[in-house]
Every structure is written in C-alpha cells, then in structure tokens.
Amino acid sequence: MDNKKEKSIENSPALKRLDGVDKDIFAFFSYLLDIYNHGMFNPLINFTKSDGRILLLLVNSGGLCHPSDISSELNLSRPNVAANLRNMEKEGLITRETDKTNRRQVFVKITPAGLEKYKKETDAIVEVFTMWLKSLGPSEAMHLMSVLKKTDEIAKQYEPPKVEEDKIEDIWKLS
C-alpha cells in the first residue's frame, strides 16, 4: 500500500468510527470505492441493475421468459420484477404476451430495441475489460482471473443476511 493511501486510511474518520475493522479490510474497501468513483466500471454497474439483468436472462433464455422465472432466477421480488417490466415495456425493450394455450400465463419477450440495448451495453463492458486486461499484462491478468475465480467460488457459498425492509434505512444511516 502506498504511503499516501496509508496515511489517508490511518486518519480516516470512517476507520475510527468502525472500531475493530482491520486496516487491510478498510484499505480494500477504500480501493474498491476509488475504482467505483472513477467511473471505469460504469458500463458494468449500469448493466447489473435490474433491467440489464432481465435483458441478459431473456437473451440467455432465447428471448422469452415467464415473470416468475425472472423473479426466481434473478432473486428479485415479484413486485420489483413487475415494476421493472412495466418500465421496460414503456421503453420498448420488452413486450408481454399472453400464452395462447394457457391464458393465465404471461410471457416476457425481448424486442429488437431490447436486443440492441443489450448489445450496446455488453459491447461497452467488453471494451472496458479488454482495456483493463491489456493494461495489466498477461501475468497480472492471469492472477486477477485466478483471484476472481476463487472469489466466485466463495460467493457461491455465501448466504447474505436477511435484512428487513424497514431496517435498510437504518443501515444507510450508519454509512
């Protein structure tokens, strides 16, 4: 860790408030925030919002999916999915069609505009990551891939704590 970063972390009011937090953990978090605030990963961050994830699921599902499948696959509440689908339909990214064999079922279908948005956003992500990996060089890029693979394995075992909706506001007050 460079001295400038170390000094800013050492004197950070946030670190003093987070009594007992390891300095390396705080430095890790600080670097992630710096990267986030720089904006380099904005294409990925924008894409990981609900509508981008829904478009990705639709593309991977052949362009057609039930809203309940979207909810379960993306771990989003049904009201959240319904609100996102309404907005996406207004933007012309998807259509909702009633199943001809079972009128109680609705399919979500990606439109050409939705496919175009998906392509544009994924192209931007590929461009950022290509530049990033080239800048790192082969050895560091392979090391990063190894760390990301291990992180993915850890993440698959992680179960986030359940947070009640009314508690979310309290959590944000702490930051």
Higher pLDDT, 32 or 118: 118
| Separation CA 44–CA 132 (nearest Å) | 13
- pLDDT for position 67: 93
Percent of the chain at pLDDT exceeding 90 = 46
- pLDDT for position 175: 47
Among the listed residues 95, 93, 89, the one whose alpha carbon sits nearest the alpha carbon of residue 107 = 95
Q: Which CATH topology does 49-111 take? A: Arc Repressor Mutant, subunit A (1.10.10)
| Separation CA 75–CA 93 (nearest Å) | 21
Mean pLDDT computed over 138-156: 93
Mean pLDDT computed over 99-128: 92
Mean pLDDT computed over 162-169: 54
Mean pLDDT computed over 4-8: 52
- Tokens representing residue 65 in the block: 């999916």
Q: Domain map of the chain by residue range?
A: 1-38, 49-111
Among the listed residues 102, 83, 99, the one whose alpha carbon sits nearest the alpha carbon of residue 91 = 83
Position 30 confidence tier, pLDDT thresholds 50, 70, 90? confident
> Residue 91 pLDDT more than 90?
yes
- Range in 38-42, 158-162, 171-175 with the lowest mean pLDDT: 171-175
| Separation CA 144–CA 152 (nearest Å) | 12
